Homo-oligomer: A and B are copies of this chain.
Amino acid sequence: MASESAARPVLEELDRAECLRLIAPGGIGRVAYDDGEGPTVVPVNYVVDGESVIFRTSESARLNRSLLALVPSGQVRAAFEIDRFDPVTREGWSVLLRGGAHALSDEERESAIRVEPWAPGERGAWFCLAATEISGRRLHRS
């Protein structure tokens, strides 16, 4: 282990296809947005749908209240980050999607891929972040 983390670290940019492949299994990601008091970050369960991520939150959650407050414009700038790092080998990767997030309409929800939240309570608010920019990096040791 010591030799692994002592090996020379290499940071490489990932292309769009590799980013999408890495995030495809879903799980936990982190949505970042401005709630009017600056940037904030909330971990959420997500699924990937094409080049978008779909995530759910509680209708009473702060995340949702902030996003719903922007409903007249229908869309809010957001970022979505997913990563996986191994504290032993100190290797891993991160993927970042940036774009506009909007609440799914009932119609959109019908056809949306199902997200299964780990957290309790109703998670009646569904959001979609459509990526206009996808980037990622992998850290490994040679």
Contact = CB atoms under 8 A, between A and B. Distances in A.
Contacts of A78: 38-39
Copies in the complex: 2
By size class, the interface of chain A is: 35 or more
Interface string A71-100: 000000111110101010010101010100
A interface SS class: strand
A11 B83 contact: no
A112 interface: no
Interface string A15-45: 0000000000001101011100111111100
A27 to B, nearest CB: 6
Contacts of A87: 27-28
A120 B40 contact: no
Contact of A38 (B42, B92, B98): B98
Given A41-B81, A43-B81, 6 more contacts: A32-B79, A39-B77, A39-B78, A39-B79, A42-B96, A43-B94
